[in-house]
Amino acid sequence: MRTWIKDPMAILAPGASRGVVLEDGRIAELVPEGRAPAAPIDQVFDASRHVVIPGLVNAHHHMFQTLTRAHPAGINKTLLPWLEALLPIWARCVDPENFRLATRLAMTELLISGCTTVSDHQYLYPPGLEAAMDIQAEEAAALGLRMTLTRGSLNLTIAEGGNAVPGAVQDTDAILADCERLIARWHDRRDGAMTQVALAPCAMLNVTQQLMRETAGLAARHHCRMHTHLAETREEVAYCQEKFSCRPVDYLEEVGWMNDRAWVAHGIHFNDAEVKRLGRAGVGVCHCPTSNMVLGSGQCRTRELEAAGAPVGLGVDGSASNDSSNLIEAVRHALMINRLTYDPAGVTHLDALRWATEGSARCLGRSDIGAIAPGKQADMALYKLDELRFSGAGDPLAALVLCGAHAADRVMIKGQWRLIDGVPLGIDVARLRAEHGKAAEAFCARG
């Protein structure tokens, strides 16, 4: 079956002004100006009212946190007080049922915003939530989303000098054994994979160096990615200097993570030499502009990192630090916060879109998604510019970012429509809103 996505209003792919042809879940052909597809077509989709971009890829999130958005204990705080206020509540109240609903809600929000590949840094494993990754794999499959199951962990409590609460931690052997189980069950290394696994100790503040080292060994043996939070706040840098007598990038080196299997979240407080070292090593950095602004953490050095050779991706992060799981909104925020540092020609809407597509795909270690090009997976987000906010817009691709697109009209994953007329397939959004709202209310009442 060859499908022609024909004559888009605009498309983020050079040489495809007449659209793209899809076949067997992949991009088969780009159709340039004045041309028609090279081979016969079975089906035509008229995209003349759509702006087409590669499906967005979310490289950092914490979906369970949708249960505590705008929580009174967490608002108007910086990272550490925010975390200290909410972590005990999360550890005490998350269970398989509310976790499933939180996952479903965050994934649905992401899909509606134009996201086709998700990852979730799920580090919370109180007793009873051992199957968290399996739950997320099931929920992603139900929506047709690609997912990197990002198996987080905590093993260093407050009593041991870290900041994890006892109810949320697991011991190192249990964590590593579950990582191996998940790799065997879900890590598909083939081109076009729907599910992969990444190993993700939460942060230097709440995991041991031994766990970081053993994770690096496991990731190398099984050819999977590894992920952690790094250099998010000045306090973290000070903690690193005090506890380990070094800076965060030295710490990363010390635990065997300075290689191109690793991507880190935030990556804000790096000096010039560290930026160069990260670039040389090929460590990816997931920029999380919304969360960084909400918590007042600072700003990722996106351009310097990219210039040094580090992949830069984009993540919504959250949800309680962003309170929204909308990746196209994060693209706009990325453009805006970066304009505080770089001049308008230095960071454009195309840079912000690249971070959310190709950049995030590189962070997740994938070359088969993140761009509309022959041979890539047919993952695309299509937006209409019919709302009032777009009226009068000139450049349609710039309008998506500058006028603040927040919902796709259609989303395709592996050649299949998963969102049509703004509605995700196979899910009752009103029911989900009611069920999740009720679960969140019960969660906060318990906390």
Interface residue list for Zn ion (CB under 5 A) = 265, 317
Write down the least CB distance from residue 352 to Zn ion, Å: 20
Write down the least CB distance from residue 25 to Zn ion, Å: 31
Query: What secondary structure does DSSP assign to 314-328, as a single string?
Result: E----STTT----HH
Q: Of the two residues 126 and 267, which places its CB atom closer to Zn ion in the complex?
A: 267
Distance, in Å, from the CA atom of 427 to the CA atom of 422, rounded to the nearest integer, reads: 12
Beta strand pairing status for 56-57 and 115-122?
A: parallel
Write down the least CB distance from residue 199 to Zn ion, Å: 15
Write down the least CB distance from residue 315 to Zn ion, Å: 8
Write down the least CB distance from residue 125 to Zn ion, Å: 16
H or E stretch including 183?
A: helix 172-186
For residue 319, is the peptide bond before it cis, meaning its omega torsion is within 30 degrees of 0? Answer: yes
> Helix crossing, 172-186 with 209-222: angle to 10°?
20
Residue with tokens 């100006």: 33
Write down the least CB distance from residue 62 to Zn ion, Å: 6
* Rg of the chain taking only CA atoms, in angstroms: 21
Q: Of the two residues 304 and 317, which places its CB atom closer to Zn ion in the complex?
A: 317
Q: Of the two residues 32 and 296, which places its CB atom closer to Zn ion in the complex?
A: 296
Write down the least CB distance from residue 17 to Zn ion, Å: 39
Write down the least CB distance from residue 115 to Zn ion, Å: 17
H or E stretch including 70?
A: none
Write down the least CB distance from residue 266 to Zn ion, Å: 7
Question: For residue 85, how many C-alpha atoms fall within 13 Å in the half-sphere facing its CB?
Answer: 19
- Enumerate residues 6+ apart whose C-beta is below 8 A from 391: none
∠ Cα 264 149 86 (to 5°):
65
Q: Of the two residues 204 and 403, which places its CB atom closer to Zn ion in the complex?
A: 204
Q: Of the two residues 265 and 440, which places its CB atom closer to Zn ion in the complex?
A: 265
Distance, in Å, from the CA atom of 399 to the CA atom of 406, rounded to the nearest integer, reads: 12
Q: Residue 24: how many CB atoms within 10 A of its CB?
A: 11
Q: Which value, to the nearest 10 degrees, does the dihedral of the CA atoms of residues 256, 260, 262, 267 take? A: 100
Residue 281: strand, helix, or coil: helix
Residue with tokens 């009032």: 388
Write down the least CB distance from residue 385 to Zn ion, Å: 32
Distance, in Å, from the CA atom of 62 to the CA atom of 72, rounded to the nearest integer, reads: 19
How far from 98 is each of 60, 65, 180, 239, 441, CA to CA, in Å? 20, 11, 26, 33, 11
Q: Of the two residues 136 and 377, which places its CB atom closer to Zn ion in the complex?
A: 136
Question: For residue 282, how many C-alpha atoms fall within 13 Å in the half-sphere facing its CB?
Answer: 8
Q: Which of 314, 313, 311 is nearest to 327 (CA)?
A: 314
Q: Of the two residues 113 and 150, which places its CB atom closer to Zn ion in the complex?
A: 150
Q: Of the two residues 17 and 163, which places its CB atom closer to Zn ion in the complex?
A: 163
Q: Of the two residues 206 and 208, which places its CB atom closer to Zn ion in the complex?
A: 206
Write down the least CB distance from residue 229 to Zn ion, Å: 5
Q: Of the two residues 121 and 261, which places its CB atom closer to Zn ion in the complex?
A: 121
Distance, in Å, from the CA atom of 416 to the CA atom of 81, rounded to the nearest integer, reads: 43
Distance, in Å, from the CA atom of 200 to the CA atom of 287, rounded to the nearest integer, reads: 17
Q: Of the two residues 317 and 358, which places its CB atom closer to Zn ion in the complex?
A: 317
Beta strand pairing status for 50-54 and 380-384?
A: antiparallel
